Amino acid sequence: MKIEAANFKMIESELYCYKDSLKYIADMEDDIINSTGGQSEIHASGVSDITGNKAMRLASNRELIECKRRVQAIDSALQIVSISGESKKYEMIKMKYFDKKYTDYGIQKELPISRRTFYRWRKDVIELIAFNLGCRI
């Protein structure tokens, strides 16, 4: 599989699990903030900095950083689509990736748009997210 095709599938997968990613980020941040670990760390000054330790863990957790980066790329693309005045395109994204109740054909009939328009819009959105992530499509 070419890199471009793999990136396309990865971005589409991220769109499908967007809502789960938002919850995962919130849960992970909550776990770090409410954790009791690291409270006994003593710094050079001889004082433990619990808040500082938690802030460092929030800022340095690679998994959290990457998940936030992907969600922010999607958020940015959704914002661009929503302010562009293309309400049907935004609705298509919502129906396909977030609601998950419709087939591609069902979305085409519901909006109504042509098959070609549906796939062009899907590609446009994924390319916009890829641009935000720095991926090749």
Is the separation of the CB atoms in 70 and 14 below 8 Å? yes
Placement of tokens 């790329």 in the chain? 73
pTM (2 d.p.): 0.81
Token duo for residue 62 = 């690679």
Q: Where are the domains of the chain?
A: 3-34+49-133
Residues 6 or more apart whose Cβ sits within 8 Å of residue 33: 54, 58
Distance CA 80, CA 16 (A): 19
Per-position pLDDT tens, the chain of length 137: 576 889 999 999 999 999 999 999 999 988 888 876 554 555 556 566 787 877 788 777 899 899 999 999 999 999 999 998 889 999 999 999 999 899 999 999 999 999 999 999 999 999 999 999 998 77
